[in-house]
Amino acid sequence: MRPQKITEELLTERMLEILRSRGYDGSSLTELAIAGDLKKASLYHRYPGGKQNLVQSVLDHYTSLLQERVFKVLKSKKKKPKKRLSMAMNNIVDLYQDGSVNCLHRALSMESGKDLFGDQIRQNCLDWMEAFESLGKDLGIKKKQTKQLAKDSLIKIQGALILSNIIGDAAPFKEVVEEIRSSYLDK
């Protein structure tokens, strides 16, 4: 058996980069193979289910990152709520590379990607809001207010990523991150 030319982690990161920018329908297997420095046959060997299997693998990786670096951090009882907020927001900044990349959810929620991956994307959004609600509760914010803050956090992050990408400036993303921090700490 030949040694792999590229590690799974590096391949997944490269595929994530392509999929964030082009979505499911806009990404070809040829383009994904080139980004991974592989031949199409090697992609089929790693992902026997083809493009859908490859994208599902990347989405699963992305979901794991969100779970570990954002949702679990916000819900953990091992640290004080303010510290959890700070850690989660720093991880969000890191996951979205200071606002310079698109969200994979947005990219995959268009065209046929929505049909194929919509349930998982929807669940990730619900998990996001649940995690932020949990934090709000631990900060002593009223239930109705914490539900709204949680929903707003998702809307603001997604909107800021879109705007930052369109104008080629990460300032809107950075402003929203600070807005979210303040909205939880000022209550």
Q: What is the pLDDT of residues 131-186, one digit of tens each?
A: 999 999 999 999 999 999 999 999 999 999 999 999 999 999 999 999 999 999 98
pLDDT score of 142: 96
User: What's the pLDDT score for residue 7?
Assistant: 87
Q: What are phi and psi of 158, to 5 degrees?
A: -65, -45
Q: Is residue 83 scored above 60 in pLDDT?
A: yes
Residue 46 in this model has a pLDDT that exceeds 80: yes
Distance separating alpha carbons of residues 100 and 77, to the nearest angstrom: 31
Q: What integer pLDDT is reported at residue 115 of this predicted model?
A: 96
Residue 4 confidence (pLDDT) above 70:
no
Least confident of 26-40, 54-68, 108-122, 127-141: 26-40
- In this prediction, residue 8 has a pLDDT band, given cuts at 50, 70 and 90, of confident
Checking if the pLDDT of 27 tops 80, the result is: yes
Q: How is residue 72 written in tokens?
A: 């679990």
For residue 3, the model assigns a pLDDT of: 53
**With 90 as the cut, is the pLDDT of residue 36 above it?**
no
Average pLDDT of the segment spanning 85-103: 97
- Rounded mean pLDDT, 24-39: 91
**Apex CA 59: angle with CA 53 and CA 63, to 5°?**
140
- Per DSSP, the three-state class of 4 is coil
Mean confidence (pLDDT) of the chain: 94
Please state the rounded mean pLDDT for residues 17-35: 93
Among candidate residues 100, 24, 11, 125, the one with its CA nearest the CA of residue 61: 11
Residue range 2-17: average pLDDT? Answer: 83
Between 2 and 11, name the one with better pLDDT.
11
* d(C-alpha 111, C-alpha 56), whole Å: 16
